[in-house]
Amino acid sequence: MEAMAPDRATALFFELFSGLPRQGPGTTASTRRALGLVPDVGPRTRVLDIGCGTGAQTLVLAHGSPAHIVAIDNHPPFIDALNREARRLRLTDRLEARVADMRSLDFADGSFDLIWCEGAIYNVGVEAGLRNWRRLLRPNGHVALTEVCWRKPEPPAECTAFWNREYPAIRDTAALVEAVEACGYETVGHFPLPASAWWDDFYGPLQDNVTAFRRRHRDEPDAQELADQCQHEMDIWHACSDFYGYEFLVLRVR
């Protein structure tokens, strides 16, 4: 099939992922648990939520702490949605969402006490993200992130093939912890996200989106191929979810 024009590919992608409670795996309880591992979060704490999407975890942070939060994402409709929600919830005095690229953040050095990044650091790679964002943190600053990890050795061939293609940087938790510590952080704590983190607010609603998207774009092969790819990702999860999952890590600058 002919390659899709980039604008159409992007538009179809965001249409497929629109209206979801979250744009990646996660749960409210996991965000709260990770926040509980960060000491002394108070009204003077400044948080940067990177790759916030529509802000599922941002709102948990805002409700679960008195901190000041800046949330960034490079997709303007997500930022508009989060700012609308912040206005509705009367949180705008301490929650502000901005369009920005996590590859080139222009905040001053030492602007934040805590960097939050759920399901998004993979866009730049864990090591690059941790090294480049470190300058944004004050001394004793913390980072909380989630990242996909292998959970068991010898996954089925289809599962290995999927991850080799989509995200060859996937590793097991021990290797991830070793990698983050080599970037100049110490691990305060880490824990796996439950399987429900994939389904309840992400793949479940996404499955409904895929069905409706296929109907809307019935005679458009490029859209059907995108839906096939998305379905394949969810089918791999159904078949092989024992072998991989997300890990929450809370880190402190060394």
Ligand X SMILES: C[S@@+](CC[C@H](N)C(=O)[O-])C[C@H]1O[C@@H](n2cnc3c(N)ncnc32)[C@H](O)[C@@H]1O
Q: Which stretch binds ligand X (CB under 6 A): 33-41, 72-80, 133-141, 227-235?
A: 72-80
Least separation, in Å, of the C-beta of 2 and ligand X? 26
Q: Does 65 engage in binding with ligand X (CB under 6 A)?
A: no
Q: Is the dihedral of CA 3, 5, 10, 12 positive or negative?
A: negative
Cβ closest to ligand X, residue 220 vs residue 231: 231
| # chain residues binding ligand X, by CB under 6 A | 20
Q: Does 78 engage in binding with ligand X (CB under 6 A)?
A: yes
Give the C-alpha distances (Å, rounded to integers) separating 140 from 1, 5, 86, 221: 52, 46, 29, 52
| Interface residue with ligand X, options 57, 112, 246, 248 (CB under 6 A) | 57
| Interface residue with ligand X, options 48, 56, 62, 95 (CB under 6 A) | 56
In sequence order, the 6+-apart residues with CB closer than 8 A to the CB of 159 are: 236, 239, 240, 243, 244
Kindly tell me the burial class for residue 18, based on how many C-beta atoms sit within 10 Å of its own C-beta (0-12, 13-18, 19 or more): middle
Least separation, in Å, of the C-beta of 158 and ligand X? 22
% helix / strand / coil in the chain, to the nearest 5?
45, 20, 30
Query: What does DSSP say about strands 171-172 and 137-150: parallel, antiparallel, or unpaired?
Result: parallel
Q: Does 119 engage in binding with ligand X (CB under 6 A)?
A: yes
Per-residue binding letters, 8-47, with ligand X (x by CB under 6 A): --------------xxx-x---------------------
Cβ closest to ligand X, residue 56 vs residue 159: 56
Q: Does 102 engage in binding with ligand X (CB under 6 A)?
A: yes
Query: What does DSSP say about strands 185-192 and 244-253: parallel, antiparallel, or unpaired?
Result: antiparallel
**138 - beta bridge partners?**
none
In the complex, the residues that contact ligand X under the rule CB under 6 A are 22-24, 26, 51-53, 56-57, 73-75, 78, 101-103, 118-120, 123
